[in-house]
Amino acid sequence: MELIFRATLAQTAPELLNVPHNAQRAAEALARAAERGASLVVFPEMHLSGYGLEKARLSPSHRAALARDVAHALEGLASEGERLGVDYLMSYPIFEDDKIFIAAAYVERGHLRAVHRKLNLVNYGHYTEDRNFDPGNSFTVVSTRLGVMGILICEDLWHPVNAAVCAARGMEVLLAPSAPCVPDPSRARGNMEEWKILLRGTAFSLTTPILCATQGGREGSMAFNGGSFALSPEGEVLLELPLLEEAEGDVEIDRDALEALRRRRPLLANERHDLYAAAFGSRGA
């Protein structure tokens, strides 16, 4: 198991519904990352399809065609990941009967290890995910050759208990594919500052590195923020990519240093899970 590894944040601008094009761009990003010695590439939320799927406009035939395109793309990318020896986290839609889920899959050197379905759908501001997608119902923590990865997608991160549950299940690194967007590009910087305020606290309190890959560019009337970032388990910003455009950047994750920090500051080891279980159980009764 690699104790120190390089991870790439791939800040992409996918084309809506152009799965073959988006898959090709992903394959190119994997090759570039491999050349730089990266072991893991994190892509943004809904890289394969683009973000703005509208459930009402997707006929059964359109859904079936899109599902076939996604399956074909995932197969090709798995082959490329195996050839290059690189892991990646890829986000795409899953179609099941009349349901559509926003998903992210961890693929380890070509082999599927876990699929996370977005838990919390955004239903405020200019977001209408609750009209177009269905929520997942389970947390995703997966043991890989690079360590134990927790996966949360975009709005999942704005509910801190989600990350806390992943940490309680052994998470060492939090992977966070996201697609925050704004109708006015001038708001992107302020929005990403809010993201960093939130997630720096999450990283520090859970002593967990966070790799947040976002979309950059435009889709219809929306500008995607960009500004992908990586945080240390101390909440320090290790890497930050430009706003509103495509970019790539690498960061090193040191699991030995993480274990040493958790010994010095054993917040996770000292959590009172018994109290939390009782409190949430009584609330749900």
Strands of the sheet with 140-144, listed across from one edge = 140-144, 147-151, 173-178, 210-214, 229-231, 237-240
Is a pLDDT exceeding 50 seen at residue 231? yes
39 DSSP 8-state letter: S
pTM here is 0.97
Listed in sequence order, the residues at least 6 apart from 249 whose beta carbon sits closer than 8 Å to its beta carbon are 8, 9, 11, 228, 230, 239, 240, 241
Structure tokens at 176: 């966070």
The confidence band for 282, taking pLDDT boundaries of 50, 70 and 90, is low
Single out the residue of 11, 124, 131, 133 nearest to residue 63, CA to CA.
133
Mean pLDDT, residues 108-123: 98
Higher pLDDT, 56 or 145: 145
Mean pLDDT score of the chain, rounded to an integer? Answer: 96
107 beta partners: 88, 112
- pLDDT (0 to 100) of residue 283: 60
Angstrom distances, CA of residue 176 to CA of 149, 184, 212, 278: 10, 24, 5, 29
- The per-residue b/e assignment along 213-229, b for 16 or more CB within 10 angstroms, e otherwise, is bbbbbebeebbbbbbbb
Percent of the chain scored above 90 by pLDDT?
A: 93
> Residue 285 has what pLDDT?
46
Distance CA 104, CA 114 (A): 8
Give the per-residue pLDDT at 56: 81
pLDDT in the model for residue 142: 98
- 35-83 pLDDT, tens digit each: 999 999 999 999 999 999 998 889 999 999 999 999 999 999 999 999 9
Q: How confident is the model at residue 13 (pLDDT cuts 50, 70, 90)?
A: very high
- Band (276; pLDDT cuts 50, 70, 90): confident
**Which range has the worst mean pLDDT, 50-54, 133-137, 277-281?**
277-281
CA 76 from centroid of its chain's CA atoms = 20
275 versus 231: the higher-pLDDT residue is: 231
| Whole-angstrom distance, CA of residue 16 vs CA of residue 271 | 43
Percent of the chain with pLDDT over 70: 99
Give residue 38's pLDDT. 98
pLDDT over threshold 50, residue 239: yes
Q: Is 19 helix (H, G, I), strand (E, B) or coil?
A: helix
Reported as a pLDDT band with limits 50, 70 and 90, residue 279 is: confident
